[in-house]
Amino acid sequence: MVPRIIAPRSYGNRVASFVSTQTFQPARSFASVVGSSPITESGRKHKIVVVGGGSAGLTISNQLLRTGQFASEDIALVDPAEWHHYQPGWTLVGGGLKQKSDLRRKLPEMVDPKVRFYNNQVQGFAPEDNTVSLSTGDRITYEHLIVCPGIKVDFNSIKGLSEAVSDPHAPVSSIYSYDTCDKASRNIADLKDGQALFTHPAGPVKCAGAPQKIMWLALDSWKRSGLYNPDSRATSPIKIDFATAMPVMFGVPKYSSRLEELRVQRGVEALFQHDLVGIEGNTAVLNRTDGGGTVKKHFDMLHATPKMGPHAFIKESALANEAGFVDVDDGTLQHKKFSNVWSCGDASSLPTSKTAAAITAQAPILINNMLSKMQGGALPATYDGYTSCPLLTEYGKVMLAEFKYGAQPKETFGRFVDQGTPSRAFYHLKKDFFPWVYFNSMVKGTWAGPKGWKR
């Protein structure tokens, strides 16, 4: 199957929007499926409108329903996607450990029937009028708005990337889209010798560990088949380089130093502060982020991580900060200008690593504060920045990085084990337990991450 880059079909934080072109496609309206009552001139009214049916949008709408405080159609959810993807699983697909089709569900089937689902795209926000307009021309109004449409993964951000990942003969892939994640596993299996290059771009990315997780899995599989010798770069049939725009392996010093040790032990060459900006045949064009100009590097296999950024309809709205993300308070998740607007997840300005694990902590905080505000109260809950990155370091081992604001570790199992040491137990959490609990519990509103199940 030829991985084909298509225009985004969704903007949920489940990266369906991953395979991204610059603009959204005109909305496909499934309006007839979502209800029969006509939208009036003044628009349909809801108590709460949630924009985005990804991890955050589904988790939040279902946690809200479970409070018992909302009647049918009090809550609305807007998302044009046909599919909801379990994106954290795409690294496992790239590593040949999962089938990508097992990691997605039809989005309309995941939305609770009591939630009014608009399977449409947002055209714009008018926060002064408490209104969201849809691409169908319809307008819906709200008492409170929750904005969590995720981040755009932009395959056009690196010259030549879209074409290369779409070309079945080009040894270029990315685990950052449904269409291309399985090509990564084929490219890894096909490489018998030469230069493998893995990249991590400048700017925000979701799951900041994924660009190297796929490298560690590839390294392990080449080592097992005798194609990679970690002790002798000169004689190893395959050579591995990691080109990252960052000056270090990871943003949290505790885990970064452990990953740096692994990198050195395993003979991986680092090109720190190198940002992939173009692909010309088998040559990668890298910009030195330290001002050192442009570097060209030959590769026989490339795993690329596209640059990412806010969706245009967020960036161009009154809700955005200068960087284009929804401008909320780091602790309360309330919008800095519009007190009935809230945000979390990848689309938000929250200065933490963008992961599904972060949603387990953000969702209850947002809900707690919003419900209190609805009753005229203060904002009781404060988010500490919790997020997590289960870092695959080889087949059978994961380093469970968990941290909060200030790049400070906040480890669930830290009392029992050193989470900086990769372990088999964490591998099974990542590979088997998290996908299971995600679909069976988290998106249904009954999972609180490190705090376990919710009532």
| Chain contacts with ligand UQ1 (rule: CB under 6 A) | 88, 356-357, 360, 388, 390, 412, 434, 437-438, 442, 449-450
Long-range contacts of 411-415 (CB under 8 A, 24+ apart): 412/450
Report the amino acid identity of residue 258: R
What are the CA-CA distances from residue 445 to residues 7, 111, 210, 320, 328 (Å)?
A: 30, 11, 26, 27, 23
Between 201 and 449, whose beta carbon lies closer to ligand UQ1? 449
- What span, in angstroms and rounded, lies between the C-alpha atoms of 46 and 91? 38
Catalytic residue among 148, 181, 344, 389: 389
Q: Smallest distance, Å, CB 407 to ligand UQ1?
A: 16
Per-position b or e across 137-155, b if 16+ CB within 10 A of its CB: ebbbbbebbbbbbbbbbbb
With residues binned 3-state (H G I as helix, E B as strand, rest as coil), the percentages for the chain, rounded to 5, are 30, 25, 45
Distance set, CA 400 to CA 179, 415, 425 (Å): 27, 13, 10
Cβ at position 387, least distance to ligand UQ1 in Å: 8
- CB nearer ligand UQ1, residue 8 or residue 54: 54
Shortest distance in whole angstroms from residue 390 CB to ligand UQ1: 5
Examine the residue annotation and report whether 389 is marked as an active-site residue of this protein.
Answer: yes
Whose Cβ is closer to ligand UQ1: residue 251's or residue 450's?
A: 450
Mark whether 207 is an active-site residue: yes
Of the pair 176, 434, the CB lying nearest ligand UQ1 is at 434
Residue with tokens 């990249």: 199
In angstroms, what is the minimal distance from the CB of 437 to ligand UQ1? Answer: 5
Contact between 93 and 100 under an 8 Å Cβ cutoff? The reply is yes
178 in Cβ contact with 90 (< 8 Å): yes
Complex with ligand UQ1: residue 151 or 341, whichever CB lies closer: 151
Residue type, 285: V
- Whose structure tokens read 């369906």? 16
Q: CA-to-CA distance for 448 and 60, rounded, in angstroms? A: 11
Question: Which residues have a catalytic role annotated?
Answer: 207, 389
